[in-house]
Amino acid sequence: MFWLPAASWAKGNAADVRELDPLALAKRASVKAKLAASAVELAPQKYTVILEPAAVLDLVGFLFYDFAATALEDKRSCLNDRMGKPLFGKNISLMDDVYDPGQLGAPFDGEGVPRQRVVLADNGVPRNLVYGRAAARRAGKEPTGHGFTLPNEYGEAPMNLVFAGGKASIEEMIASTEHGLLVTRLWYIREVDPYEKILTGMTRDGSFLVENGQIAAGIRNFRFNQNILEMLSSVEQLSPAVRAAGEESFEIVAPAMKIRNFHFTEVTKF
């Protein structure tokens, strides 16, 4: 089965946040549309899933406020009582970095404080929070340049998230999958349990059955119900990170992810 690898839809090496190749992107969209026209229905269950960067973004973007000092202070974060402890897989590292070539934004926050590059999670362990002026004063720390314009009830948040990527292409992820799904994008995502970070939502814009290392068919869309903390502990492969945009989150630099035991709960009607 013909399938364009991730290496063909961007230029540069694995360390770059790369530019999309418009011709390759158009070819990928054409192949997906043709397969989706004869989509088959699968049983809802847990699958190995390959999430393209836009799908990853809409899930992991829900973590952004959990790394705010005010959120932990108000007991509104899934990281309460979890800071400094192994929480994600060792292959998961996350930072907030407005200076990353894949990010955009002012070098100062809403309070006029210069933005710092902050390592939020390192090798699966949440390490640091971001601080506005008030939260920093209460904690006896220096502000990190992530405060919102006053007045506000949220304090601060990391708005320039960058996930560390890996070296696997989407083609390699497909080739290494005996039975699983490839998902282009997600939408209509809502929190079911904010503390455990359980989200529900639906696939869209092309989902595909992978059999014996090849794309076998387009499939009907699924609804999912997934704990994101567990998801980030079950990542088997990562692609190089790219700047991605989606439905539910602001732009993030994120990789594609191959994940085991992703929980799909029902087939949608479209």
pLDDT digit string, tens, across residues 153-202? 999 999 999 999 999 999 999 999 999 999 999 999 999 999 999 999 99
- Is the predicted pLDDT of residue 18 greater than 50, yes or no? no
Query: Quick one: pLDDT at residue 10?
Result: 36
Chain mean pLDDT for the chain: 91
> How far is 145 from 136, CA to CA, in rounded Å?
10
Query: Quick one: pLDDT at residue 20?
Result: 60
C-alpha to C-alpha distances, 186 to 69, 93, 131, 203, nearest whole angstrom? 29, 22, 31, 4
pLDDT band at 268 (very low <50, low <70, confident <90, very high): confident
Residue 18 gets which letter from DSSP?
P
Query: Quick one: pLDDT at residue 204?
Result: 92
Query: Quick one: pLDDT at residue 9?
Result: 33
pLDDT, average across residues 136-146: 97
- Is the predicted pLDDT of residue 96 greater than 80, yes or no? yes
What secondary structure, in 3-state letters, does 30-72 show? HHHHHHHCCCECCCCCEEEEEECHHHHHHHHHHHHHHHEHHHH
> How far is 201 from 191, CA to CA, in rounded Å?
9
Helices in 66-195 by DSSP H: which ranges? 69-73, 133-139, 170-175
User: What digits encode the pLDDT tens for the residues 39-67?
Assistant: 899 999 999 999 999 999 999 999 999 99
pLDDT, average across residues 13-22: 50
User: What digits encode the pLDDT tens for the residues 213-247?
Assistant: 999 999 999 999 999 999 999 999 999 999 998 88
This prediction has a pTM of 0.89
> How far is 138 from 92, CA to CA, in rounded Å?
30
The answer to whether the beta carbons of residues 62 and 189 sit under 8 Å apart is yes
Query: Quick one: pLDDT at residue 261?
Result: 98
Residue 21: name the closest of 7, 32, 6, 10 by CA. Answer: 10
Residue 164: name the closest of 262, 232, 223 by CA. Answer: 232
